[in-house]
Every structure is written in C-alpha cells, then in structure tokens.
Structure 1
C-alpha cells in the first residue's frame, strides 16, 4: 500500500495530539499490507510518543501474545475492507480493562476515511495512466495511415493537370488531412502539464485558437474549408446546399471572437444538420453582420425540446434513432458563451432572412460586437 507523505504527517499529528490531551498513554497505527497471496500483515506506520520502541510489525511484537487490560483496538474500516488498526494503551490504577474512548474511535474512523480516499485516488490514477498510455499508442498508430494518405494524395495531385476538374477534390483531401493531423497532435498533448489551449480560460476544444501572430484571416479564410466540405457532402447525399453569396469583410483581428473556435462551433452545427435532418432536406450556411447561421428545411424541433437540446447528452426526439452522443450542441453553446457570444435556435430560417425556408431549424451563432460597434451604439 502506497502511503502519501500527507497522510503519514496527518496520522502522526492526530496521534501526538491525543497523547498530549491524555486520551491514552501510548498509541500505534498499523496498516494492512498484502503481498501476493500471503496472509495480510499489520505494519507500524505511526506511533506516539514517537520515541516508543515498537517493532515494525505486530507479528514481531511479543507483547501481542498475551492479553492486557490496558490495551484496546480500534479497527480502520473502509466499506468491507479492514485497512488497519489503531492500538491504544492506557494504564489504570485499579487494573480494570480500559473503557472505549470516543475520541479514539473517531480518530480511527477519520483515518480510515482519509486512507480510503487515497486508495481510490491511487486506483483512479492507475486507470488514468493506463488510458494515457493507450492514447499515446493510438496516436502513434494514427500518424502512419495519415501520412500515407497525404503521400498518396500528393502523388495523385502531381498526375493531374492545373485545369483538371478533379484537382480541387484532391486539394481538399490534402487540406482535410492537415486538419486531422492537428487533431492528432492535440490528442498527443492531452494529460501533459504544459497543455494550454487558452491563455486564461480552459476550453474543451482539441484545436487551439488562432495564434496572435497568425496572418490577418478573414471569416472566409476560417469557414471556406467547412463550406467546401459541406458542399461535397451535400452533393454526395443528393441535397440542395446554399452557401454564402457574400462574405463579411471583417477579420479575426477586428472581431477576435471569429477565430478557430468559431470554426469549430460551425463545424459542429454543420455536422448536426447533415446527421439529423432528413435525407434530401435542403440546408445551408447564412452570414450576417454579427454572426453565422446553419439552417435546414427539415421538420422543426418540437417547442418543448428547444432548450433541452443544448444540455449535455440530450438529443431531440426526431434524432434518437440516429447515431450520436448528444454533445455537439452543448459544446457549441459553451464555446460561444466563452467567447462572449450566444447560440440560439430560431423558430424558422425565414426569421433571419425572408429568402430562407419558412419551415425548418436555424441555429444562430451571434458574435459579440467589436469595441468600435459598442462605442457607436453608445
């Protein structure tokens, strides 16, 4: 049994205090040691007074072979486990057996509770370390096929002429591989103390935000890969896809909330739209001055579910038969709020723009105003 320095110091402090208060003349704390299939032994880990010469194990103490009226035992139990015992000796002038002491019983129960928590922490840490090792192996194994896919795509790209109609498809494959590689690199950092996805706030994202020294990216730079991916998915599924006809000209420096986090939120919304809207249902991405909207023309989400679908693990009644975890919308809303924005479900896409369908679902990501916009309103 591994004992932390914190537990040993706490145990010694408790025993010394009880001796000082005259609760007992001598106290000794023994903990159960299990070595393989051998019979468990009780090993001394703390005693008071500390200069008392006690053997390291109860089995080595000759005084334990005979009963003594001044001696009492207080077991340290945690559930069905006997973690150890607290030995107390209190000499009485009349030679009668020492009565149980409530403070000693409380001490034994407290130490058993603390020790049980430490054992549980040790067990959980062991599980966590095992999971980290498995994750490291998985990340290592993922890199090989990803590298091979990139190599094959680059070789294929060389065979295509600059005007070949298939060239954009291959270029998109390479772009998506780069995105996957970023996810894998972020997975490799999980559990490391130097992992910092945000300078001040922690975020559940795997991908880090746009670094401060990055080029002055526009919203089109951030979302165009997602739009191209959505267009390809819609074409494959035989859907009608509507992408933005015009892009706002603001950049992520002008509107700091419009960074990789925004792209991750939109990616979650698009994934939900493709996954849960009926086959053949129209969908699209709509932009306005202060945010982004992902909409579909499928059956509206029932009114009594419109708020609950943003809770973790909750899925709408129309999507329960499809695969999914129910985390996408909860994650998207949490990230939006961390950025000072808001994610809401409109009554219909047409509520945002009359050109959009009058029936369906529209998830609107509103970004916080810039300092200049706030000043203009005031």
Structure 2
C-alpha cells in the first residue's frame, strides 16, 4: 500500500514535460529577482527623495533664519521678516514658546511640542512629517538667530506621493514585461536545449520497438553527447550479450544434438529388438544409454553453471585449497583408475564458494586424466596459491591455447573424444569470480600444464574477537 502511495506521489510531483518545468522555474527565478530589485529600487528612491527634501528644507530654513531683518509693506504698513521672501516657494511660520504666526497659507500645519523645543533652544533642529486635512507635510524647524523664536518650513508631500505612484506603476509594468520576456526566453532555451534529448528519446523508442542495436550518432561534446556515448556503450554491451546468448544457444543445441540422437537411436533399437538380441547386447545398449544420459546430465549442469550469476556473498567462506584438491582428487581417481596421480600440496586459504571451487579443480583434474595415456601420471602441485596440473598427453597446440577456455571450443584432436567443451570455460569463470585467473601452457612432462592462481594466504584468517566471545 505504501509503495503505491509513493509511486503516485512521485508521478504527481514530476507531472508535465521537462521543458515546461524549466520554463516555469526560469520564470519564477526571474520574477523573484525582478521583485527584489523593484522593491529595493522603490524604497531606495523613496528614502533618497525624503533625504533630499529634508536637506533642501534645512538649507533654506538655515539661510532664512540667519537673516531676521524686517521688510515693510508700503501699501499695508505691515512688516514681514526677510525669511518669508527667502522661502517663498514653501509654507513658513514663526514659532515661539507660547504662539506661532504664519504669513503663508492657512493650511499650514500647526506647530507642536517638538517645534516649541527648538524655539526654546532645547533641541538644535527638528524634522518630521505632520498630517493635516490637506495632506501630509514635511516640516523642518530651526532657531531664528538673535531671537527666542524658531523658523518652521513645511512642504507638501502630495507631489512626492504622486511621483511614488508613477514610479511604482513604471516598476510594475517593466517588471511584468521582464517576467514575460523571461518566460519566453526560458521556453526557447528549454525547447532548443532539450531537442537533442527528444531525438535521443525517439532513438531509444525506436530501438525498443525494432531491437536494432545500431549505435546512435553523437554530435558535439556536451552533456547530451556524453549521454549518447554512454548509451552507445550500453548498446554495445547489450549487443555483445545478445550475441553471446545466441552463440550459447547455438552451441548448446549443437552439443545436445549428438547425445540426444545417439540416445534416441539406442532407445529405438531396444523397442524394436526381438528375441534374437542377446542379453549381452541388451546390457551394452543399456550401458550406452546410461553413459549418454550421464553425458547429457553433465552438459546441462555445465550450461547451468555457466549461465548463473555470481554466487551471493553469504555463500563465501574461508576454505583451504589443498583440502579442496584432496576431495576433488578422490572423486577423479574413481573415474580414472588407470591414471596415477601425484601431489605436492601446501596449505593455501582463500575466500571462495567451496562447491564452485571444488568443481573447478575437478574439471582441471578430469581434463588431465582424459588426455593422459594409459598408465600415465598426472602431477599436481600447490605452492603459494598457484595450483598446477600437468599431464603426459599430447599437449596443446600453440594455435589452440588462446581459445581452450572459450565455451564449446574443442580442438581438432578433442572432437573425437567425449566432452562438451565447457569444463575449462567453467574453470575460468569460477577463477574470475574468486578474483584469480587460469592459464594453459606446455608442461615439462611433455603434455599440457593448467595453472590456477587464487588470491589468499598461507594461514587462515584470524577469528574476530567478538566471534570468539559469542562462541564461548
């Protein structure tokens, strides 16, 4: 139940095409970047404009407050301070500790305690924003030189707010345009970049449909090209495996045909025999049938051994190769009583599958016994992980040495003898599984020498301390 839920969640998570996901991710990334930049730009401009306004108001207020002379209006007879003229483009007021007076608009923001503190010289200056019924004003207050009053300048923030709105609209418009452009660019890039992937997918689908393992064309040296190269290597491996499988089936069918034909012939002779056949002839036919059944059984066992995968790790154990040779030798002596076996063995401990290793050694000894002459001798030696098996037979031709460990390979001399050509192939496979190797050469005794080399040590592995404690 949980695996089904996991599969459904995974398919939902990765639903949609890769190009669509790339376009979406590109759009989101660009939109996020534009949003951060726009927000930063908006607040940076706002802070800078506010700072510029404060600086301008402060300069004007300072300049007007330093010139407190009065100018008389000849028409009305009223006197107006000169700071009114110096700051005529903004609203101004004079603030004392108990009153305020402004010759400008009536909408001038009323002074508060912060401005009174400037008039009483408690603070050197004040800048703040005051909200009124006519909008927000930015106010700067400085003391007037030579008096106990303060000069208060106010400028409306409404034009600045209107500019903020226009700025926000411009940023939003161009940001949206940038997101759309990023989406289009992401789609174009994804579509163009994934075009080789689509071609590779189409080729894979074609291979799955037609089973044509022809390598794909590789263009360029980018990641897609390297992927195609890796896929070609996989195709080569699959093609080689398929060829080996076909060859194995063809060779196996060829090797099985002979014992099956002979077995069928003998069975037909037995079923068609009349009273004229003697008991001795019947016994010979039955013996041939048993021999052919045994040969067929051995051939099938060899095929199974070659076809199976490497043994699982739990089957590995530390074994003494010399004891494995002794067990195999006791079996081969029964099958070849006319052959003499001599042995010089020293202990050699290896990590291997004991059953498979014994089979490999038995195949080497059987091969030597098969090629040994009547009353011949097979010499067996084991020294420092190198097992040598020498016979006194005709030896191996130089042209045959590179191929004798191939499956179903049989030399011209061996084709007239019993066997399937799989024994030495099994030896090589087991040796390679164990981390060793096997080779063939001329023997100093006149025949062939088979050498099996396996990694190991002259003494068994020490038992782990915790294992000793558990055994106690």
> Could you state the TM-score of these two structures normalised by the residue count of structure 2?
0.32
Which structure has the larger Rg?
2
TM-score if structure 1 supplies the norm length?
A: 0.38
